[in-house]
Amino acid sequence: MIQGSYDGSSFFDLLRHDYTHLLPLQHLPQLSPGVADLSATVPFGTTVLALRFADGIVIGGDRQATEGFEVSSRRIEKVYNADDYSVIAIAGAAGPCLEMVKLFQIEMEHYQKIEGEVLILEGKANKLAQMIRQNLPAAFQGLIVIPIFAGYDLNTQEGRIYKYDVTGGRYGERDFYSTGSGSREARSTLKKRFEPNLCRDAAVRLALEALVDAADLDVGTSGPDIHRGIYPVMKIVTKNGIEDVGEDELRPMSEALLASLKG
């Protein structure tokens, strides 16, 4: 590789400075005025959410992606580990979302290798905001990326949630947040049911209930599919790292919630 002029610890800034052709979406065609945007022709991920509990953060998302009025995938992954203590959940155009996740994961690993230490949680949230801002030209064409970033802050010993707008604006959320097509319904459930210092199991149940309620009213969001064995992706972030909530735990919770909707 040709040696560039950038010598800092940010992989993203290295690409921006010396290898702009390698940045995501650099070859996106520019649409002419009056031409419909690309949003109806690419898969979109729908609802993701995060909430605090006594020991950290629960973050999750449904599994459906839509393409216009059609279901393009029933098994898409929307929640990813950023590093050992932080997680990113994606909503928006699936392709750009996944590219941003991969670049963000590399950014975290690159920083740690260069600096010999992990970037603080606030710094990680700022880095993600920078990447979202870079995506703004694509967002004008309908390829919007609006993630939720959450993690365990080792300095303050607490879970923290960050939300973003399409321009890269970054905002902290104290207790819970949801984004995506079913976010209004999910936030309504979280607002009614949330309590400070929930235990782990109660927090997982609440996250699942919020996604089920979102799926009940939003056609873009899928609930648990017992027949196909498809359940939301859920992760827990604490001082011990990241834990995946397994199907064996989500299945009985899902069956109970769906049964209550029939009642």
What is the dihedral angle through the alpha carbons of 54, 205, 129, 174, rounded to the nearest 10 degrees?
-40
Q: Do 242 and 235 form a contact (C-beta atoms < 8 A)? A: yes
Comparing C-alpha atoms, which of 83, 170, 171 is closest to residue 120? 83
Do 17 and 2 meet the contact criterion of CB atoms below 8 Å apart? no
Helix, strand or coil for residue 11?
Answer: helix
As a whole number of angstroms, the distance between CA 82 and CA 101 comes to 8
Whether residue 146 contacts residue 91, with contact meaning beta carbons closer than 8 Å, is answered with yes
Check residue 123 and report its DSSP letter.
H
Catalytic residue among 46, 66, 189, 221: 46
Give yes or no: 179 in active site: no
Q: Would you give the DSSP letter of residue 119?
A: P
Strands 56-61 and 233-238, sheet pairing = antiparallel
Burial class (CB in 10 A: 0-12, 13-18, 19+), 158: middle
Question: What's the one-letter identity of residue 111?
Answer: Y
Under DSSP, is residue 232 helix (H, G, I), strand (E, B) or coil? Answer: coil
H/E segment holding residue 238: strand 233-238
Name residue, tokens 């392709």: 95
Q: Which residues are catalytic?
A: 46
